[in-house]
Amino acid sequence: MIETLRNAWKIKELRNKLLFTCAILAIYRFGAQVFTPFVDAESFSLMFEEQLSNTALGLVNMMSGGAFSQASIFSLSIQPYINASIIMNLLTVGIPALERLQKEGGEEGRKKIAAITRYATVVLGLLLGWGNYMLMRNYNVLTDDGVFPAFVIVLTLTAGSAFIMWLGEQITEFGVGNGISIILFASIVSRGPSMVQGAIGMIQLNQWIELVSVLVVAVAAVTFVVYITQAERRIPIQYSKRMVGRKMYGGQSTYLPLKVNMSGVMPIIFAQAIASFPATIATFISRGANDTVDRWFGTASIPYAAVYLLMIIAFSYFYQSIQFNPIEIANNLKQNGGFVPGFRPGKPTSDFIRRVLNRITLFGALFLGVIAVMPIIMSGVLSVPQLAMGGTSLLIVVGVALETVKAIESQMMMRHYKGFLE
């Protein structure tokens, strides 16, 4: 692996992309340390650790790399963009005009949808920025109150979220991997020192059983995520022979690979955003509402775990239906003289592919859901509140890391190098 890393660094274009990605991440982490005007950052951070760290906002803080608890200008992180993407995906399925724009509009259609998503991100940023302002005012952590401070705080948080979205797009275009996923990965990994500190605290308190249990769950989760991400179901494809002049074409055998986890980490991210929505809104409204809702929809509650699991399964099927069309695949096979042995071309083939796809999607979604929910259950058993967020962060980190490694490997393969992983 050291040799392949050395070979990757020797490729000038790839080296420049890696350096560019690192530079963008450095800018992002620097901006996460800049405080929001008119906010007492120290008081807000202390209040957050005492009262909100184990609520739904703890997940928001995790996905922002601690920027939320520090009252940073990047407090909203990529949450507005994620929510805007959810809305656009749902509207694309429900509105025929947007569906035609996505499927038939080509590059221009995708650009228009991306532009609409950006505008929606700004609108949601304004709404979430106002929610953050109300939260800060309810907990008396503002250095000044009034119309002008409210305007500055909301505008600053919205601008910070839009800037993060722009940074992610720059990584996607000029760097390596998906920019938004890379930023989310960096945010979660930046919490590593605090996780190590928590482990040291458990050792000092002689909580060896809890620590070993956490490590076992973490290793098992990493193993399952890697296994599911790389697993695929191969459907055999046979092409019929045909004569063109004096030459015989076709007759070869191949296969159609179907990924068990076709949608990657996106179902986890979207499910987390929706499952934590009630508790997040309640936190923005008032303390009393937050205390009531948190008992039912806090990140360590059973209702939250149930909704979280169902949302992961639902979004896995949703993304599978968007990314893979069995009817289109069956028609393409029929036009090219291909068929699945034992099934007639056309509708019987598409029905068979759909049945196989539904089964493997359910298998992958259940695995992801169990891995995500298990730490929540263990959090209640072992009385380790922070563990409830560990499943989500671990799934995202491992999934994004695998996707990024594949992106690097594909670029190396294009230049006739051996794979990034041997």
Q: Percentage of residues in the chain with pLDDT exceeding 70?
A: 77
Which pLDDT band, with edges at 50, 70 and 90, does 419 fall under?
very low
Residue 250 has pLDDT above 90, yes or no: no
Give SS3 for 246: coil
Residue 179 has pLDDT above 50, yes or no: yes
Statement to judge: residues 84 and 227 lie in one domain: no
| Burial readout 65-87 (b: 16 or more C-beta within 10 A, e: otherwise) | bbbbbbbbbbbbbbbbbbbbbbb
Statement to judge: residues 395 and 367 lie in one domain: yes
- CA 56 from chain centre, in angstroms, equals 17
Q: For residues 362 and 369, give the distance between their C-alpha atoms in angstroms, rounded to a whole number.
A: 10
Statement to judge: residues 322 and 280 lie in one domain: yes
Which pLDDT band, with edges at 50, 70 and 90, does 61 fall under?
confident
Q: Which two tokens stand for residue 341?
A: 């042995």
Q: For residues 176 and 369, give the distance between their C-alpha atoms in angstroms, rounded to a whole number.
A: 28
Q: Which of 87-91, 145-149, 383-387 has the lowest mean pLDDT?
A: 383-387
Q: Which of 190, 213, 238 is the last residue in one of the domains?
A: 190
Query: Mean pLDDT highest for which of 170-179, 224-233, 263-272?
Result: 170-179
Q: Which of 165, 190, 215 is the last residue in one of the domains?
A: 190
Statement to judge: residues 204 and 349 lie in one domain: yes
- Residues in the chain, total: 422
Give SS3 for 236: strand
User: pLDDT per residue over 99-134, tens digit each?
Assistant: 777 777 677 887 888 888 899 999 999 998 998 888
Statement to judge: residues 112 and 35 lie in one domain: yes
DSSP strand pairing (242-244 vs 247-249): antiparallel
Domains held by the chain: number: 2
Q: For residues 281 and 298, give the distance between their C-alpha atoms in angstroms, rounded to a whole number.
A: 12
Mean predicted lDDT score pLDDT of the chain = 78
Per-residue pLDDT, averaged over 363-382, amounts to: 75
Residue 38 has pLDDT above 60, yes or no: yes
Contact between residue 416 and residue 282 where contact means Cβ atoms under 8 Å apart: no
CA gyration radius for the chain? 24
Residue 327 has pLDDT above 60, yes or no: yes
What number of other Cβ atoms are within 10 A of residue 234's Cβ? 10
Per-residue pLDDT, averaged over 160-167, amounts to: 92
DSSP output for 4-51: HHHHHHH-HHHHHHHHHHHHHHHHHHHHTTSBPTTB-HHHHHHHIIII
Torsions phi, psi of 29, nearest 5? Answer: -70, -30
Statement to judge: residues 183 and 43 lie in one domain: yes
DSSP 357: H
Higher-pLDDT residue of 201, 316: 316
Sequence-distant (≥ 6) Cβ neighbours of residue 107 within 8 angstroms? none
Query: For position 44, what pLDDT does the model report?
Result: 87
Query: For position 331, what pLDDT does the model report?
Result: 86
Statement to judge: residues 57 and 171 lie in one domain: yes
Which pLDDT band, with edges at 50, 70 and 90, does 341 fall under?
confident
Statement to judge: residues 221 and 184 lie in one domain: no
Q: For residues 23 and 322, give the distance between their C-alpha atoms in angstroms, rounded to a whole number.
A: 33
Statement to judge: residues 286 and 364 lie in one domain: yes
Statement to judge: residues 206 and 102 lie in one domain: no
The enclosing domain of 243 has a CATH number of 1.10.3370.10
Statement to judge: residues 72 and 169 lie in one domain: yes
Residue 247 has pLDDT above 60, yes or no: yes
Per-residue pLDDT, averaged over 307-333, amounts to: 83
Q: Which of 190, 215, 235 is the last residue in one of the domains?
A: 190
User: pLDDT per residue over 383-413, tens digit each?
Assistant: 555 554 566 677 778 778 777 877 777 777 7
Nearest alpha carbon to residue 131 among 87, 82, 77, 76: 76
Q: Which domain holds residue 68?
A: 1-190
Query: For position 290, what pLDDT does the model report?
Result: 55
Statement to judge: residues 371 and 263 lie in one domain: yes
End-to-end CA, the chain: 7
Residue 1 has pLDDT above 50, yes or no: no
Residue 159 has pLDDT above 90, yes or no: yes
Q: For residues 302 and 376, give the distance between their C-alpha atoms in angstroms, rounded to a whole number.
A: 8
Residue 67 has pLDDT above 70, yes or no: yes
User: pLDDT per residue over 194-223, tens digit each?
Assistant: 666 666 766 666 667 767 777 777 777 778
DSSP output for 95-157: -HHHHHHHHHSHHHHHHHHHHHHHHHHHHHHHHHHHHHHHHHHHTT-BSS-SHHHHHHHHHHH
